Structure 1
């Protein structure tokens, strides 16, 4: 992952895709740990309706742990959200 410091606001509005190329959503906000000065999560809106169908109410967003982020560029790539949603025994921390 690119460790070059970036303005946090540059994350807002970027599209998020799984590492398998599935659109997940769009970053609406970030969750911060102010003590450690790090991003801890991405608040997503404009979600992929098929991916989250039956999991959250329409119009709601989700919060993905930032540790799932694999790369930040023109888009943000995250570990495969589909597998995490379908395997409850895994580290399933998607929050509606």
Structure 2
């Protein structure tokens, strides 16, 4: 059975890749046309170098595989090195 979550319940949750690596923490959501378009995530230290030292990124909603006690991001949608970062990832300067 599908359980509906309120967006406010997801803010503050940890985000992991589909391989189980800690990615960061959900800070906010971006909306477009009454739909979730992306998730603002503060990046953990192990992924910061992939995004040029950015403190956070916006992960497009289609890259999210599951939302429950944690948010799971498809590992294959993430760049494997800094030069592979697509323009669809918006770098954010999130305050800590």
TM-score category of the 2 structures, normalised to the smaller one? 0.7 to 0.9
TM-score where L is the length of structure 1: 0.76
TM-score where L is the length of structure 2: 0.76
For residues 1-96 of structure 1, the aligned pairs below 5 Å read 3-33=2-32, 35=33, 37-45=34-42, 47-53=43-49, 55-57=51-53, 60-80=55-75, 84-86=78-80, 88=84, 93-96=88-91
Bigger proportion of residues as helix: 2
Aligned residues: 89
Q: What runs of 5+ residues in structure 2 fail to find an aligned partner?
A: 92-96
Bigger proportion of residues as strand: 2
Query: Could you say what the CA RMSD is over the residues aligned between the two structures, in angstroms?
Result: 2.5
Q: What runs of 5+ residues in structure 1 fail to find an aligned partner?
A: none
